[in-house]
Amino acid sequence: MRVGIFGRGRLGSAVAGLVAAEGDMELGWSLGKGEPPTSAVDVALDASVGAAVADHLLWARDAGVNIVVGATGWDRSLLAQYSDWPIAVLTAPNFSLAAAFMRRMALYLGRFAAIDPLADLAIIERHHRAKLDAPSGTAKLLAAALSEGCPRYSSSGGDSAAGASARRRLQIASLRVGSEVGYHEMRLEAEHETIVIAHEAKSRDIFAQGAVQALRWIRGKRGLFSFDDFAAEILSPLFLPPEGENTI
């Protein structure tokens, strides 16, 4: 399977190294900003920047190449304009399987918060100083799941406005400091208790490994997918009771 990679940043370079070492994969090209594809590939990874995603999606459509989009900070409404594409597009703000697990936990945490009308929900996320977008794509994904579980919240938050109007806005605190790979924390604050669910990425290797798995998974498919669609095959059974177990 020949793989093309848009972007020579941390993720793109790491995936290029893994692809070159895989026995069933071959690196077709790894491109920097503005460089055009040089040969045919079976699948492609967009690990560039948000501003370049639209052009890369159009290239994938015209070339008939399934593409995995790992860039963040782009307008996802672009996908709705091309819902009839004869290719597969998988979008992933985070390639960590644990992040997909966190999204599921966010839904359940939101449902638990919905029981108590006074419970507050919030997200704290930290990334290295060079990360451009804030909140992160993963933070937005978690916010959407929290608000799905607790409808009194909107996932379109991100500021710290106080007062009654803020109760409808899920607050996201973002820090861009140091060299931290990535940290996401969900908090439920109630009158008598606090629940904290957090994930810290210690190495970027988890993202590169997840991207390679996603490239394998998307080959031969057609349609729009999220990383969660891929992760569901592994994670969904974890949320089912063991056979024969009484859940009451």
Given 56, 131, 140, 184, the catalytic residue: 131
CB 2 within 8 A of CB 41: yes
Active site residue 140: no
Element (H, E) at 137: helix 137-149
Question: How many CB atoms sit inside 10 A of residue 248's CB?
Answer: 2
Given 56, 127, 184, 199, the catalytic residue: 127
Classify 114 as helix, strand or coil: helix
Q: Which strand ranges, in their side-by-side order, compose the sheet holding 182-189?
A: 171-176, 120-127, 182-189, 194-201
Tell me phi and psi for residue 4, to 5 degrees: -110, 145
10 Å CB burial of residue 95 (0-12, 13-18, 19+) is: buried
Active site residue 127: yes
Half-sphere exposure of 193 (CA within 13 A, CB side): 5
Q: Which residue has the tokens 């594409």?
A: 85
Strand partners, 218: none
Q: Which residue has the tokens 């990383």?
A: 227
Q: Which residue has the tokens 């059974």?
A: 237
Closest of 124, 98, 119, 97 to residue 109, by C-alpha: 119
Strand partners, 225: 90
Query: Hey, which residues are catalytic here?
Result: 127, 131
